[in-house]
Structure formats: structure tokens, C-alpha cells
């Protein structure tokens, strides 16, 4: 009875690992989570904002489409402060970045269309795109952030390119300026829609120029989220879209009216009280320290053949070992260590990447990173 789209749905590895973790009580070091540290969620401020906005019953009314006008204006400021140019584009509030990606997939992809996607990629985005088309080509991303170049023949066929130039998930790498320029040229020359997914920008001190700033032809749809710096449960994200598409995006929001009015009012209040910029700088410092600690400890403890990416911030370091990290997960969990096997972030040649894993520091305190790395290093050595 299911549609062909429904038959292509599958569980993301992140969901599988997080379901497993919920059942396990004894995880000491959670290198698996992509959620922010609960200690960095501004709980008191959110509580105060909630009480304030609830004084007006309007905070519980229907959301309409596009998001509250005042929130959209505040988000324009937030983007400008992050160095993202909003010129000639509209901010449309979404229920997190995931909802933004789903709306974009729905609006742009027919069954016969081709997608161009990084390999590895944020697999949950791929699941959303794959819901609409099963045709895709890949760009391989290395541990140093280098990327392969698609052929002319590929570019001619592709309609939509999905990319994470800044702190790519799962590798934590950054795309170089030249490759960014080439993407913009491809978009112009081959008439591509480019989806730039950028939720980690607030977590690096010196992010590079986003694709959207370089785009003079209105080909880039910029997506971001407040999940990583405020709280994922509030479900507030956005699309910064060329005017040409913004109305269609709002029309798509009529399909479910899933924006949460209360969340929008809370986030608006937090923005007006400057809570978000304060928490973002604190979070940036904290996560950068943890990433540095993790990188130093990998250097100290991992066997010589293990390689890893070297991010300057964000949540993730991607490692490449000679053991099957998917098979090793059960053993690691039994010793209190969780991570996400990297092969599931690949959409092609998964078995070739069974030695990879994504390690996230977002929910691991500095003092626990050492224990986690030592246990993992010993397991990797024992099973090599």
C-alpha cells in the first residue's frame, strides 16, 4: 500500500544510535550526540522568556506562514552579525533546518531530477532529498576538506547541489575558497540550485565567506538553525531564499502549518534580550576548547595508522581507522563509550568506509574526553 517514496524511507544512523543510547543507562562518554550540551542551553533565560511571552495569548495563536514579522527582522540582524549577506533575499522561519531541507526537497525535486551531494553527508538531509528522487551523484569529501570535482556530464544532469561548506557534518571540515567559487560558477553555468546548510557558523571564530554572499544569480538557498546554539527542541531554523522562491516556500508551509508560535515568540524574546549572541560566544569557546583537547588526545593515544580531520570548532572530528568501527560499536558501548560509525554517512561504497567514525564533543565534558579517547584507542589497537 505504501508509495514508492515511502518505500525509500529508512532510519538514519544517528536515530539508530540515539535510540540505542536511550535504552542504555551506562554511557560514560557520549561521542555520538549532535545535540548541544544541556549546560549550555540558557534554561533560565528560556524560562523567563516563556513566562513573559505567555502573558499575551497571541503567543499561542496559529503561526501562519513565513514566521513572525518581528522575528524575521531579528533573524536578519543575526545573520548579518554572522557575516551572511541578506541582500535581495527573504528570511523564512522553519521548524528547524531539517524542515527547511524537506520543504526545499519538496519544492525542487521531481522523481527524474538529479541531486549532487557530498559523500559523506549529513545523512538526514539526504533522506529528505531521497524521498523525492533516487537519482544522485556524489562529491567525495576528504579528511582535509578537499573535494572531488564532478564531471561536466554530471553537472549537466544535476538540478540541486546540497553542501555544508563550513564545519561539514560529519567531517568537521571547511571547504576552501576556490571550491566555493567553482560552485557558484557551476550554479550559473549549469543552472543549479545550491542548498548551503550552515548551522555551525556561530561556533567558529573566523568562518569563511558563505556561498550565499558570493551568489549574484540568486541560485543559493541558505539554511541555518538555532538548534546548535540555543536548543534543538525549540525547532527554529530558517531559509534565506531569493525573492523568486520565497513565496513558494511560504505556500509550502500551508501543507502542514508546523511552525510553532510559542517557540517563535520565545526566540524573538531571547534575541531582543541579546541572550543568543551571549550564549553563542560562550558555546563557541567551550566547544573549541573541547575540540582542541580531543585533537591533542587523539595525537597522544591513537595508533599510528589512524587519521582524523582537524576542525577548529563545532562538534565533530571524523576518524579513519583500520578496524570496522560499526562492528566495534557494541564493544565500545559495553565499555560506556558511544559514537556514530562513519560508514552510515556515506551514500556510496559504504563498506569501503567501515573504518570511519564520527566523534562529537558536544555532550562530553573536557575531563571525560581523555577517558573516552583512551578506551577507544585501546579497542582500536586490540582489534587492528
Ligand X SMILES: Cc1ncc(COP(=O)(O)O)c(C=O)c1O
Interaxial angle between packed helices 43-53 and 261-272, expressed in degrees from 0 to 180 and rounded to the nearest 10: 110
* Min CB(263)–ligand X separation in Å: 12
* Min CB(227)–ligand X separation in Å: 3
* Min CB(200)–ligand X separation in Å: 7
Terminal-to-terminal C-alpha distance of the chain: 46
190 vs 344 by CB, closer to ligand X: 344
Note whether 264 and 286 are within 8 A (CB). no
Asked, as a colleague might, if the bond just before 348 is cis with ω within 30 of 0, I would say no
Mask for 98-117, x = binds ligand X (CB under 6 A) = x-------------------
Determine if 232 is a binding residue for ligand X (CB under 6 A).
Answer: yes
163 vs 320 by CB, closer to ligand X: 163
* Min CB(305)–ligand X separation in Å: 28
* Min CB(97)–ligand X separation in Å: 4
Which run of H or of E encompasses 337? strand 337-338
Surface-to-core class of residue 16, CB atoms within 10 Å of its CB (0-12 exposed, 13-18 middle, 19+ buried) = middle
* Min CB(313)–ligand X separation in Å: 14
Full DSSP string of 32-65: ---SPPGGGS-HHHHHHHHHHHTTSGGGGS---S
User: Which ranges constitute the DSSP H helices of 92-190?
Assistant: 96-108, 123-130, 152-157, 177-190
Determine if 169 is a binding residue for ligand X (CB under 6 A).
Answer: yes
Query: Which of 147, 116, 148 is CA-nearest to residue 129?
Result: 116
User: Among residue numbers 148 through 167, which ones bind ligand X (CB under 6 A)?
Assistant: 164
Residue count, binding to ligand X (CB under 6 A): 14
Query: Which of 183, 227, 219, 223 is CA-nearest to residue 203?
Result: 227
DSSP class of residue 343 equals G
Mask for 290-329, x = binds ligand X (CB under 6 A) = ----------------------------------------
199 vs 341 by CB, closer to ligand X: 199
Which run of H or of E encompasses 341? strand 340-341
Among 227, 246, 263, 320, binds ligand X (CB under 6 A): 227
* Min CB(95)–ligand X separation in Å: 8
190 vs 345 by CB, closer to ligand X: 345
- How far apart CA 130 and CA 136 sit, in angstroms, is 9
User: Among residue numbers 22 through 51, which ones bind ligand X (CB under 6 A)?
Assistant: 34
200 vs 353 by CB, closer to ligand X: 200
262 vs 335 by CB, closer to ligand X: 262
- How far apart CA 240 and CA 223 sit, in angstroms, is 6
Among 63, 67, 96, 341, binds ligand X (CB under 6 A): 96
> Angle at CA 342, nearest 5°, toward 341 and 344?
85
* Min CB(299)–ligand X separation in Å: 26
The residue length of the chain stands at 384
> Angle at CA 276, nearest 5°, toward 270 and 279?
130
96 vs 355 by CB, closer to ligand X: 96
Determine if 342 is a binding residue for ligand X (CB under 6 A).
Answer: no
Residue 351 grid cell: 563498506
Of 90-98, 110-118, 173-181, 302-310, which part binds ligand X (CB under 6 A)? Answer: 90-98
Of 67-75, 171-179, 224-232, 373-381, which part binds ligand X (CB under 6 A)? Answer: 224-232
- How far apart CA 121 and CA 335 sit, in angstroms, is 28
Among 90, 113, 197, 215, binds ligand X (CB under 6 A): 197
Determine if 120 is a binding residue for ligand X (CB under 6 A).
Answer: no
* Min CB(156)–ligand X separation in Å: 27
Among 13, 172, 199, 210, binds ligand X (CB under 6 A): 199
Determine if 372 is a binding residue for ligand X (CB under 6 A).
Answer: no
- How far apart CA 285 and CA 303 sit, in angstroms, is 29
- How far apart CA 164 and CA 195 sit, in angstroms, is 8
Query: Which of 304, 308, 346 is CA-nearest to residue 144?
Result: 308
Which residues are near ligand X by CB under 6 A? 34, 96-98, 122, 125, 164, 169, 197, 199, 225, 227, 232, 237
Amino acid at each position: 500500500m505504501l508509495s514508492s517514496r515511502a518505500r525509500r524511507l529508512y532510519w538514519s544512523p544517528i536515530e539508530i544510535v540515539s535510540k540505542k543510547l536511550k535504552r542504555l543507562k551506562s554511557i560514560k562518554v557520549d561521542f555520538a550526540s549532535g545535540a548541544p550540551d544541556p549546560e549550555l542551553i540558557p534554561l533560565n533565560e528560556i524560562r523567563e522568556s516563556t513566562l513573559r511571552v505567555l502573558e499575551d495569548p497571541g503567543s499561542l495563536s496559529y503561526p501562519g506562514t513565513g514566521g513572525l514579522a518581528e522575528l524575521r527582522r531579528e533573524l536578519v540582524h543575526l545573520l548579518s552579525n554572522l557575516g551572511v549577506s541578506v541582500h535581495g533575499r527573504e528570511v523564512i522561519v522553519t521548524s528547524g533546518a531539517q524542515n527547511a531541507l524537506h520543504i526545499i526537497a519538496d519544492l525542487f525535486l521531481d522523481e527524474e531530477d538529479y541531486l549532487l551531494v557530498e559523500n559523506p553527508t549529513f545523512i538526514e538531509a539526504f533522506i529528505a532529498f531521497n524521498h523525492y528522487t533516487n537519482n544522485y551523484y556524489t562529491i567525495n569529501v576528504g579528511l582535509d576538506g578537499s573535494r572531488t570535482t564532478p564531471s561536466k556530464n554530471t553537472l549537466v544532469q544535476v538540478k540541486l547541489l546540497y553542501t555544508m561548506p563550513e564545519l561539514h557534518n560529519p567531517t568537521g571540515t571547511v571547504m576552501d575558497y576556490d571550491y566555493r567559487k567553482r560552485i557558484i560558477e557551476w550554479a550559473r553555468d549549469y543552472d543549479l540550485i545550491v542548498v548551503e546548510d550552515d548551522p555551525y557558523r556561530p561556533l567558529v571564530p573566523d568562518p569563511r565567506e558563505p556561498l550565499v554572499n558570493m551568489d549574484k544569480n540568486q541560485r543559493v538557498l541558505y539554511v541555518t538553525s538555532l538548534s546548535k546554539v540555543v536548543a534543538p527542541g525549540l525547532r527554529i531554523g530558517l531559509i534565506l531564499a531569493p525573492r523568486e522562491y520565497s513565496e513558494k516556500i511560504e505556500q509550502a508551509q500551508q501543507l502542514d502549518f508546523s511552525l510553532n508560535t510559542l517557540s517563535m515568540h520565545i526566540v524573538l524574546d531571547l534575541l531582543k534580550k541579546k541572550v543568543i549572541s551571549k550564549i553563542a560566544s560562550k558555546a563557541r569557546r567551550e566547544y573549541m576548547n573541547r575540540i582542541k583537547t580531543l585533537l591533542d588526545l587523539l595525537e597522544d593515544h591513537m595508533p599510528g595508522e589512524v587519521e582524523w580531520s582537524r576542525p577548529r570548532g563545532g562538534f565533530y572530528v571524523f576518524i579513519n581507522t583500520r578496524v570496522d568501527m560499526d562492528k566495534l560499536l557494541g564493544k565500545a558501548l559495553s565499555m560506556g563509550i558511544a559514537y556514530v560509525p562513519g560508514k552510515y554517512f556515506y551514500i556510496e561504497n559504504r563498506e569501503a568506509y567501515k573504518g570511519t567514525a564520527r566523534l562529537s564533543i558536544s555532550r562530553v565534558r573536557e575531563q571525560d574526553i581523555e577517558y573516552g579517547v583512551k578506551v577507544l584507542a585501546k579497542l582500536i589497537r586490540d582489534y587492528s
